[in-house]
Each structure stands twice: as C-alpha cells, then as structure tokens.
Structure 1
C-alpha cells in the first residue's frame, strides 16, 4: 500500500531529543533568572567615588544585558548538541529495527532461510527479533511441507490419468476389443482419482480451520465408525472391541467423524491376515479427551511409524494387496487433530501392530444414559 512521504522515525526521535533538551535548557535558565531576580536588588546606592545618575547603579538592567547573550549562546549550543547527539542516539537505538527490516525484505523475496539472530540482552527489540526468527522457521518448514505435498499430489493424480489414457489408447487401437473390461478398469481408476481428490479437499479444509465448532461426543463417533466399517472388518477377519465413556469435545462433527473413520479403517486394513483384533477406547482425563485405537499386526520399526503422518506415506511394509490406499489417511487424521488444537501420537506395539492416540481439549456434552451404558460395557464385534 502506497503512503505519502513523511519524516523518518530516526529524524522524529532526533527532533524529539533536541526539543526536550531545549525545553530543559529554557527551564534551567528561567530558574537561574528567577533566582537572580529574587536575591539581587534592583538598584544600589554607590559612594562618591563612583559617578552615576543620582548616585544609583541599576544592577538588574546591567545583569540582563550580560545574561541574555550568554543564555542565547547556551540555547544555541544545546540545540546543536541535541540534534547531533539525538541523531546518533536514535541511530543506535533503531539499529536492531534496521536489521529486522532487512530480514523482512529478504523474506518477502522468498529467502526464508535468513535469520536475524539479534545479539545482546533481552529487550523489546530482542523479543521481536526472536519472534520473527521463530515465525520464519515455521514458515520455512510449512512451505517445504507444502511443496513436497504438491509434488506428491501431482504425482498421485498423474498416475490414474496416465492409466486412463493408456486404456483409452488401447481401446482405440483395437476397436474389436471387449469394451466391458476397459470400462471396468476405467471405473476403478476414476474411483481412485475421485477418492484422492476428495481426500485432498478434506485435508485442505481441515488445515484452513474453516469449520464451525459444535459439541461432539467422540464415543458416539467411534460407535458410528465401527457400525459403518463392520462389513470391512468381517471381510478382513478382524474383531473389534470398544470401551470407554462419554468423551465430549468441541469441533466439527463431520471432520471428527472422518478422523475416527480413518483411524478405524487404517487399523482394520493394516492388521493380521487372520483373527486380527482392533481395540477402541475413549475417555477424558485431566481436561483432555482421548481416542485410542490399537490393532494387532506385524512388528513395526519406530522410524517407520514416525513418518506415517506424512502425506502419501503409505508404509508399504503394511499394505494389503487387496485394499486401495491413497496415502492420506493418517495425514488427514493429524491435520484434523491439529485443527482442533489436539495432538496425534503413534507408537508401535511390542507384540506387533500400532497404537494411535488422539488427544483433544475436553468439552461439555450430554447423551442418553442408555447410550452411555452401552458404550461403557465393552462390546465385541466379530465376523
């Protein structure tokens, strides 16, 4: 935004210092003159050796003629000294602000690796510089994540489009080929592309926090997710056990349901080939609402688990060949949790599988006693 030109802050401070010094000088000289008026007589009688009119010497008049030029010289000196000293002092005081301004200009050009690193003791400028350095570090990390995410998303979206083009080229080259097979494969590819696009839109919506917060019970969302994914659990021979109590939070019901569904689906798909177990627990403690999902499965390395929240990080060691996966399940869960001021914790289980815990700020909510009692009694669902 363009602004009209004006005085610099350094010049304003210089003029302020000089004006204050001049005011102090004027007050000091006025105090001296008031002292002289109080204790020096107006006139004095002189002896016969001094020749004056009527033998009277005008002390104050002579003193004023001597004092006024000297006072003017003192004020002139204070003005010059105030301007020069104020300019130097203002420059030294504003030097950290100049460094912050230069770093801001570099950051505006895209150079986010620059840091101010202001030396000296902690003061207002040091706090501002440290806060700016922290902001640059977070912004640099965020930009890096977004660039990596954009590259991965482009690659993931390009794959189904390339497959569709190849199928269409084959069908065009061989008009007599059975089109039903091509249509079925195109349907599968397009379904995957649609799921990926919807996942990307959901991830963007959660990251921007563009949702209305309502009172939600995580235990009810867990029940709904289990009911929805029960056929999938039966297909994969996974037994689901739920336990817990009323777990109220404040947030988006749709996003929190998506988060819970992703956790349950992920735990079902990445489980043992036969007789797998999935445990879901909800509850509150110390003002925190927690949703924990544990599943059996192969033993996982801690290094692998720590990377599973990155977008498109599938953990190929755990992928089931019969299950499509866009690699955004845990990334969406992590984003939704952070959008609700919560945290996501992943930990490998010693016996195999993984334990995932989402912690959110606890809210207030109610539900029927029958529903609460149903959830407190651990239910077991199997195929």
Structure 2
C-alpha cells in the first residue's frame, strides 16, 4: 500500500466516525419505523346502513373489497415513503459526518504531525532542540514532553560519551608521548651506555603497565555498563578480604590503621565484578587518605540486604562534589598529578548499577568518605 493510500490514523478515525453515525442511525431508523408502524391507525371500513321494509336497520355484507384495501394501501404507502426518506436522510448524515470527521481528525492530529516532523529533523548534531509543545494538558502534550525528556537524556549521554572519549584519549596519549620522548632521547644520545638504556626501558615498562591498568579499567567499565549475563552467589566478606590483602602493603606504607569487621553477606552477582568493586573501594579509601589515618571495611546485612561498607579518614569533601567523584576520569585537585586513572569510583557506580544495587555515599564532617553498597538478597 502506497503512502497516499495507507491506513493513516486520520483515515481510520474518519471511517470510525462515519461507521458510528451509520450504525446508530440505522438502529434509530429501525426503532422509529417499528414505532410508526404501531402508531399509524388501522382504518376499519363499516358497511353502509340500509333500512329494511319493516323499518329495521340492517348492515349488508361487505361486497366492496376496494373500500377495505384503500386505507390499508394508503397506510403502507405512507410507511414506505417514511422509510425511503429516512434512508436518504441517514445516507446524507453519514456522508456529512464522515466529512466532518475527516476535518476534526485532521485538527486533532495536527500537533502529532508537528511532533513527527520536528522529531525527524532532530539528529545527533542538534539534540539540544526540543518540541516544547503548547496547548492543553492532554495525551499529545504528554507525548511531546516524554519525547523532550528522552532527547534530554540522549543529549546528556552523547555529551558524556564525547567527554569520555576525549578523556580516555588524553589519558592514553600522555604516557605514550612520555615513552616516545624517553626512547627518542636515549636513541639520540650517542654516549648512552647499557645502564642508561636499561633505565629508559624500565621507565617505559612502568609507563606501559600504567597503560595496561587503564585499558583494563576501561574494559571493566564497559563490561559493567553492558549488564550481567549470569548471576552467581558472591561472598562479600571474601571479596572484601581479598581486596584488603592487596591493599595492606600500601596502607602500611602510609601508616594507616585498618579496621575490619566482615560478617556473613552473600549476594547474587558476577564474582569478578564484585571483587573489582570491593578492590576499587578499598584502594580509593587507602589512596585518598592522610598520614596516620584509618580505613574501616564492613560487610553484613543492612536492612535485610547484603552490604559492603568502606569508610576512611582524609581531606574534607564538600557535599556538592560527591556526585562528581563517580564521573569517569574525575580526580580530586590534590591527586591531579598522582597515580590513578580517575576511573575507580565510576567503575564502582557502573558495577552497582549492573547488579541493581543501591550505592550511597556520605562525606564525613571530619574529613574522608563513607561508601555503602547494598545488593539484592540472594
């Protein structure tokens, strides 16, 4: 069916209006005809009175059939004319109602056509545009507002993607540029010895390891945002214990006191991702701390849900900057030149979302941060 003859909403509404008028009109006509058939009187013809010779009045038999059939024939003709006129009136009203239905449907659907046209013209280059529908607060305006909300989310997602790509490119390009400079300087020095070249290779290898960690973090983030294929029972206490084992050396070097309370807590999830979530939280608590500070790790049931809670001392974090900590490549001002890619907490947020877990964060008034992740019950 071509676009010109396809069953559009306007055409379907027009046919619906016309069909409703035709159906109700036909029903009304039938009822009216039945009523008229019962209301019109049946004329009974009496024979003429004739006196007999004795003075008595007698009524002869009705020999004249035409006198009886005349009124009945007239009554039938009246009903026929009434039915014909009613059918013609019904046909005319059906035609008129279809035309009016076409006009009314066009006016009602005009805002919808405007929405369709405007939405088709919006692309990735002008996602900032909105429908901004005016008029009564009806279903069409609700549809326009819903599309505006969707466009807003798409615009935010595109902007976040562009920022992510730009930040990832910067994070990957910086160590590559540094390694290239090291190698070029070493090769340009004709008097460089074995020890000098070895030192350059070691520094390049360290930079390569940083790139490897960054790429692994990017892959973990992408995997978390994709969602989970299968769920397994994950012991949060075991995941936290493993994370603490990897961070104890760094905590001891910084002089941090580690307090541990690992209660039974089993949650459905991906063991690798949950382990990464715990490791990132512990690593973040150790790294963004102060000399002689502390780190607390707790697992157990919180409100009937298995939970992991990591708290730490450290610098004061303004409440309005807490959400920014979970953005990719965000680094506190004091850690701009330090070790880390700025993906740790963003990976935590992505893993929590993938597990349908509740992530809560509170900045401590004395300094530091408390992060709680509550998983669904197993």
| TM-score normalised by the chain length of structure 1 | 0.83
Aligned match for 1:152, one of 167, 182, 185: 167
Bigger-Rg structure (1/2): 2
Q: Tell me how far 1:174 sits from its aligned partner.
A: 2.5
Aligned to 1:197: 215
- Closer/same/farther in 2, CA of residues 109 and 272 from structure 1, 3 Å limit: closer
Q: Tell me how far 1:133 sits from its aligned partner.
A: 3.2
Partners of 1:18 and 1:136 lie apart in 2 by 38
Establish whether residue 179 from structure 1 lines up as the match of residue 203 from structure 2.
no
Establish whether residue 67 from structure 1 lines up as the match of residue 67 from structure 2.
no
Q: Tell me how far 1:187 sits from its aligned partner.
A: 0.5
- Closer/same/farther in 2, CA of residues 331 and 75 from structure 1, 3 Å limit: same
Q: Tell me how far 1:125 sits from its aligned partner.
A: 4.1
Question: Which shifted more, 247-256 or 137-146?
Answer: 137-146
Establish whether residue 232 from structure 1 lines up as the match of residue 250 from structure 2.
yes
Partners of 2:372 and 2:232 lie apart in 1 by 22
Establish whether residue 221 from structure 1 lines up as the match of residue 225 from structure 2.
no
**Residues 296-335 of structure 1 correspond to what in structure 2 (within 5 A)?**
296-318=313-335, 324-335=339-350
SS of alignment partner, residue 267 of structure 1: helix
Aligned to 1:26: 26
Unaligned runs of 5+ in 1: 365-383
Aligned to 1:263: 281
Partners of 2:207 and 2:345 lie apart in 1 by 22
Aligned to 2:66: 54
Partners of 2:265 and 2:32 lie apart in 1 by 78
- Closer/same/farther in 2, CA of residues 287 and 99 from structure 1, 3 Å limit: farther
Partners of 1:189 and 1:349 lie apart in 2 by 35
Q: How many residues align?
A: 356
Aligned to 1:98: 113
Contact 1:106 1:114 in 2 (8 A): no
Partners of 1:349 and 1:318 lie apart in 2 by 19
Partners of 2:129 and 2:36 lie apart in 1 by 62
Contact 2:33 2:83 in 1 (8 A): no
Aligned to 1:373: none
Aligned match for 1:345, one of 360, 368, 373: 360
Question: Which shifted more, 189-198 or 240-249?
Answer: 240-249
SS of alignment partner, residue 194 of structure 1: helix
Partners of 2:33 and 2:318 lie apart in 1 by 88
**Residues 279-294 of structure 1 correspond to what in structure 2 (within 5 A)?**
279-294=296-311
Contact 2:231 2:268 in 1 (8 A): yes
- Closer/same/farther in 2, CA of residues 359 and 120 from structure 1, 3 Å limit: farther
Cα RMSD for the two superposed structures = 2.9
CA deviation profile, 1:150-184 (whole Å, cap 9, x unmatched): 11111111111212222232233234423212211
Question: Which shifted more, 65-74 or 153-162?
Answer: 65-74
CA deviation profile, 1:312-361 (whole Å, cap 9, x unmatched): 11113256x7x621111111111111222223333332222222222333
Aligned to 1:142: 157
Partners of 1:339 and 1:103 lie apart in 2 by 34
Aligned to 1:38: 38
Question: Which shifted more, 326-335 or 104-113?
Answer: 104-113
Partners of 1:210 and 1:10 lie apart in 2 by 44
Unaligned runs of 5+ in 2: 49-63
Q: Tell me how far 1:21 sits from its aligned partner.
A: 0.5
Partners of 1:326 and 1:219 lie apart in 2 by 27
| TM-score normalised by the chain length of structure 2 | 0.84
SS of alignment partner, residue 327 of structure 2: coil
SS of alignment partner, residue 259 of structure 2: strand
Question: Which shifted more, 80-89 or 115-124?
Answer: 115-124
Partners of 2:230 and 2:106 lie apart in 1 by 49
Partners of 2:374 and 2:293 lie apart in 1 by 25
- Closer/same/farther in 2, CA of residues 168 and 47 from structure 1, 3 Å limit: farther
Question: Which shifted more, 37-46 or 189-198?
Answer: 37-46
Aligned to 2:351: 336
